[in-house]
Amino acid sequence: MAETKQRQTGIAEVNGTSLYYEVEGEGHPFVMVHGGLVDRRLWDEQFDVFAQHYKMIRFDMRGFGDSGLYKADMAPFRLDDDLYELLRFLGIEKTYVMGLSMGGAVAIDFTLAHPEMVDALIPVAMGLGGFEGDDSNKPLWMAIEAAFKEGDFEKAAELSTRMWTDGPVRTSDQVDPAVRERVKAMTLHNYQRPDDNDAPDPQELEPPAAQRLVEIRVPTLIIVGDADVREILTIADTLVAGVKGAKKEVIPNTAHHLNMEKPEEFNSIVLNFLGTLQ
């Protein structure tokens, strides 16, 4: 394990894969789960800031960043189980958990599977297991998939950035170019990884989270950007209606990567919420 400026880094061999992780700070544990097509660097504007108050953990999910490859011969697995085994590896018994997009769905599943370990849940621009969305983004998804199959990873990454970072109501020039380039670089890295295209998908929690929201009984804060895709905004309202006592914050003029677009506002919202729990 390496240590630089009080930041610990390492590889956890857990649940049939290798997970790259970073730990920094002291205090109550707080784990952050990145979204699909990006990696742990999604949280660059949060990690050091929050580490002034909490013991921060971030990692690359399997198939992303510097963690293990998706392989065709992998045993069945769930991403929330990967998170559970990582926390056990690190000796974490109780934690706050925050996840964005696919990571938000993982955070919700983890809370349902291991409620005894979660002291607060913060889904951000989140997915939701078992949620049946609309097909409004299907044409763009198809274009991304076609570019990927053709090996045009640069085009696939650009289209993905348009879909998520720009969102459906803004043009690319209305978004901070530095944020776009950082998201696109993470996405391109993931597209270029040598994962097996025929690897099995992660299994879902059963019954899925969308049918079990009443079981979530921890303080819950939902954060979304008002320029995100319609499905994400619908999921946010579904969570508010289904999770008792859940609060929702909307950050204006941001889309899916709202924590990168407006980090100071995002950080203040999260820290203020967690401050009320202490």
Q: Is the pLDDT of residue 38 over 80?
A: yes
Domain ranges of the chain: 2-134+199-275
The separation between CA 57 and the C-alpha centre of its own chain, rounded to angstroms, equals: 13
Beta bridge partners of residue 227, listed in sequence order: none
* Residue 138: pLDDT band with limits 50, 70, 90: confident
pLDDT for the residue numbered 172:
96
Cα gap 135→252, rounded to integer Å: 25
Is-cis flag, bond preceding 207, omega within 30? yes
Compute the mean pLDDT over every residue in the chain, rounded to the nearest whole number.
Answer: 95
Report DSSP letters for the chain, one per residue.
Answer: -EEETTEEEEEEEETTEEEEEEEE--SSEEEEE--TTS-GGGGHHHHHHHTTTSEEEEEPPTTSTTSPPP-TTPPP--HHHHHHHHHHHTT--SEEEEEETHHHHHHHHHHHH-GGGEEEEEEES---TT----STTHHHHHHHHHHHHTT-HHHHHHHHHIIIII-TT--GGGS-HHHHHHHHHHHHHHHHS---TTPPPPPPPSS-GGG-GGG--S-BEEEEETTS-HHHHHHHHHHHHHSTT-EEEEETT--TTHHHHSHHHHHHHHHHHHHTT-
Q: Which CATH class is domain 2-134+199-275?
A: alpha beta
The torsion angles phi and psi of 57, rounded to 5 degrees, stand at -130, 130
In contact, 104 and 125? CB cutoff 8 Å: yes
Residue 1, pLDDT > 60, answer: no
* Token code pair at residue 241: 């209606």
- pTM check: above 0.85: yes
| pLDDT above 90 coverage of the chain, percent | 94
**Each residue of 193-239: pLDDT tens digit?**
999 989 999 999 999 999 999 999 999 999 999 999 999 999 999 99
Q: Cβ atoms within 10 A of the Cβ of 51, count?
A: 21
Banded pLDDT at 175 (limits 50, 70, 90): very high
For residues 32 and 46, is the Cβ–Cβ distance under 8 A?
yes
Q: What is the mean pLDDT of residues 46-73?
A: 97
Q: What CA–CA distances, in Å, run from 26 to 12, 87, 172? A: 20, 15, 39
The pLDDT of residue 5: 54
State yes or no: pLDDT of 113 exceeds 60.
yes
Whole-angstrom distance, CA of residue 90 vs CA of residue 12: 9
Q: What is the pLDDT of residue 2?
A: 44
Averaged pLDDT for residues 103-128? 98
Specify whether the CB–CB gap between 121 and 97 falls below 8 A.
yes
Q: Is 243 exposed, middle or buried (0-12, 13-18, 19+ CB in 10 A)?
A: buried
The mean pLDDT of 3-26, rounded to a whole number, is: 91
Residue 176, pLDDT score? 97
Please tell me the total number of residues recorded for the chain in this structure: 278
